[in-house]
Amino acid sequence: MQRPQRVRPTAIRRVWLLLGLLLGLAEPVAAGEPAGPVLVIEIDGAIGVASAEFLDKALSEARARDAPALVLRLDTPGGLVTSTRVMIKAILGSSTPVILWVAPSGARAASAGTYLSYAAHVTAMAPGTHLGAATPIALGAPPAPPREPGRDGERPPPGDAAERKAINDAIAYLRSLAQLRGRNAEWAEEAVEKAATLTAEEAAARGVVDLLAGTIEELLDKAHGRTVKMAEGERVLNLKGRPVESLDAGLRLRVLQAIADPNIAFILLLVGVYGILFEFWNPGTFVPGIVGGISLFLALAALSVLPVQMAGVALLLLGVALMVAEAFTPGIGILGLGGLAAFAAGALFLFDPAAADFDLRIALPVVIAATGVSALLLMGVLGAAMGARRRKVVSGAEAMLGAEGEVVAWDGGEGRVRILGEVWAARAARPLPPGTPVRVTERKGLVLTVEPIAEERS
């Protein structure tokens, strides 16, 4: 009887190992899990064009690298309305979950930051942070409470129609985001209408944010396993143990973010205009022209991304033009004073505050300092011009008038004289013996008219 053939243990182990490798390779494909690292970006300061471009760049990078989530660490006082809406649209249409994290401790997500926190797929806050105050800044203080009912029993809404329209639009926008993400819609209305704010703990307790986290590791650990609503459907976050990588905004975006500050843009504009003017007044020095040209181009780049009012620009240009006119036609200072007034008014009205939800105006100390510097420069130029008018001419034909010398040789009504170390042809009303001291009274071409000094002194 033939004995059954035994299967060797080595062959069994090889089969199990092969099956394990195949299952291990197939599991991520079957589950459709992203294989890339968690990407982190940081946005500090006012929301602007640079912030929106940075977020768009980060979302493209996350999509290309198959990242399971993009963490946006935020600390902002607010920002431009248009840039905020662009960022919200990018988050809502993103194929990568966005986790907004208000951090570190002491950070805030005010105004525009509140809208972004409601738009994010997951929102977290570090201890010691706060968010809220989403009232449109152009409307000033929050509206007053409704008045007591009149005879008809109705309570008229506070403010005029334009204010109510702006507030209602902001409330509807924030409530729609709250309903989309399942967050507290009632408090969203308070944040707009009453400029309400919440600490991190209060926001978590009232369902305004999803979780609290003090570190990035704690954030990913708590966000792991949460179900988020994406544009293409629901997704479960798989973040535990994933590597974390920070993305840098790059030099161009960092420079744009820095110069897009209204005060910085205004100062660059002044340096550019005055640098070029000084180059025209003193050709060949090059340094003022180079510095002014670079500053002017940087200022134009900043103004191109800021909501500029043309009336403010016109007043600034008028002010500079009047001050330049005063410098070239020095008088009693009327043009200069008018230029300073136009300059200060242009600085105050340069930017449109209605286009942002934070104070976009140039700081009053900056306006006062810039106007004072302009006044000092104006007085300096005027003083130099007036001194130049009183100064004796030292070159050209006029420099010979009044110059003194002596007769070298003379014949009849003409002769030669030595003036300022040079020998010139000369005429006089009467013959002059050699060695006679003379003074130049007139010059015609290369012939001088002289008169003796001795007679005048005697």
Q: Do 347 and 312 contact (CB within 8 A), yes or no?
A: yes
CA distance 284 to 441: 36
Every domain of the chain and the residues it spans: 13-142+161-252, 255-390, 397-457
**Position 88: which residue type?**
I
CB neighbours of residue 141 within 10 Å: 7
Report the C-alpha dihedral over residues 417, 423, 426, 429, rounded to 10 degrees: -10
Strand partners, 440: 450
What does the DSSP 8-state code read for residue 353? Answer: G
Going by C-alpha positions, the residue among 353, 355, 350 that lies closest to residue 264 is 350
Is CATH 3.90.226.10 the classification given to domain 13-142+161-252? yes
CA distance 88 to 70: 14
Question: Which residues lie below 8 Å from residue 356, measured CB to CB, with a gap of 6+?
Answer: 46, 78, 79, 80, 81, 137, 307
Question: Which residues lie below 8 Å from residue 309, measured CB to CB, with a gap of 6+?
Answer: 349, 350, 351, 352
Q: Do 57 and 94 contact (CB within 8 A), yes or no?
A: no
Going by C-alpha positions, the residue among 379, 357, 353, 426 that lies closest to residue 170 is 357
**Which phi and psi (to 5°) does residue 308 adopt?**
-90, 140
| CATH superfamily of domain region 397-457 | Nucleic acid-binding proteins (2.40.50.140)
pLDDT (tens, 9 = 90+) of the chain, 458 residues, equals: 444 444 454 554 554 444 444 444 433 433 457 778 999 999 999 999 999 999 999 999 999 999 999 999 999 999 888 999 999 999 999 999 999 999 999 999 999 999 999 999 999 999 999 999 888 754 333 334 444 444 444 444 445 676 778 788 889 999 999 999 999 999 999 999 898 999 999 999 999 999 999 999 999 999 999 999 998 889 999 998 899 999 999 999 999 988 988 899 999 988 998 888 788 777 777 888 899 999 999 998 898 888 899 999 899 889 888 877 776 675 667 887 888 889 899 998 998 877 776 667 888 899 898 888 877 776 676 556 555 555 555 555 666 788 889 999 998 889 999 988 889 999 998 889 898 999 998 888 889 999 998 654 44
pTM of the predicted model as reported, rounded to 2 decimal places: 0.70
Using DSSP bridges, classify how beta strands 197-199 and 38-44 pair: parallel, antiparallel or unpaired: unpaired
